[in-house]
Amino acid sequence: MSQKMHFHGTTILGILTKDEVALGGDGQVTFGETIVKANTRKVRTMYDDTIVAGFAGTAADAFTLFDKFEQKLDQYNGNLNRAAVELARDWRTDKYLRRLEALLGVMNWDNAFIISGSGDVIEPEDGIIAIGSGGPYALAAARSLLKHTKLPAKEIVREALKITAGICIYTNNVITIEELKSKKGSSPKVKGTGGKK
């Protein structure tokens, strides 16, 4: 039961637009109904700061998946699409990896994906990644802020996560956000929304 709660106990939110990429997460770690840490860093940049990634799930499992994902990025020269698909395939078929309980959200200038242990690689149609227990709240807040404000992506992520922290008991307001600063290393556009034309 605690593993299930642990798996859902976070919020990761990412926004991909034509001009901006930002991914953020809260810092809360829970064990059952107890908060054991408030400032865990659940997002990071990868592959020479051309990719951002975040996790929802048990920390040990997620860090293992981060390492595996970085290996895939190195293997496929930073090709996010290929690395995501190959990680999902290994995650689903490998006897050890398929026991890991986490979700990964990954983004570059061209694509945003949610990767799961069931072999799914999901590309959100609106360029917004929202995972974890507070994901639905963060998604709703981000969509509204994108539609009705001119805030930059980083501030939309921050405000949406603050809203979520006021609703979801497994999400706090200790927020870490990573942005991609330039389009260096951007890969050719693959079908999807929110990337460069």
Q: What gap in Å lies between CA 59 and CA 151, rounded to an integer?
A: 31
Q: Which token pair is 85? A: 């698909």
Read off the pTM. Answer: 0.85
pLDDT at 155: 98
| Boundaries of every domain in the chain | 2-177
For the beta sheet containing 51-57, the strands, ordered from the edge strand earlier in sequence to the opposite edge, are 43-46, 51-57, 102-107, 112-116, 121-122
Q: What gap in Å lies between CA 158 and CA 174, rounded to an integer?
A: 10
User: Is residue 159 predicted with pLDDT exceeding 70?
Assistant: yes
Q: How confident is the model at residue 75 (pLDDT cuts 50, 70, 90)?
A: very high
pLDDT at 108: 97
Q: How confident is the model at residue 3 (pLDDT cuts 50, 70, 90)?
A: very low
Share of the chain above pLDDT 90, in %: 61
At a CB cut-off of 8 Å and minimum separation 6, what does 86 contact?
72, 75, 76
Residue count (the chain): 197
pLDDT tens figures, 89-136:
888 887 767 677 778 999 999 999 999 877 789 999 899 999 999 999
Catalytic residue among 10, 11, 50, 171: 10
**10 classed as catalytic:** yes
Q: How confident is the model at residue 7 (pLDDT cuts 50, 70, 90)?
A: very low
pLDDT at 184: 55
User: Is residue 141 predicted with pLDDT exceeding 80?
Assistant: yes
CB 174 within 8 A of CB 27: yes
CATH topology of domain 2-177: Glutamine Phosphoribosylpyrophosphate, subunit 1, domain 1 (3.60.20)
H or E element at residue 143: helix 135-148
Alpha carbon of residue 4 to chain centroid: 19
At a CB cut-off of 8 Å and minimum separation 6, what does 184 contact?
48, 50
pLDDT at 191: 35
Q: What gap in Å lies between CA 164 and CA 13, rounded to an integer?
A: 10
pLDDT at 171: 94
Q: How confident is the model at residue 2 (pLDDT cuts 50, 70, 90)?
A: very low
Please name every residue paired with 121 in a beta bridge, in sequence order, or none if there are none: 115
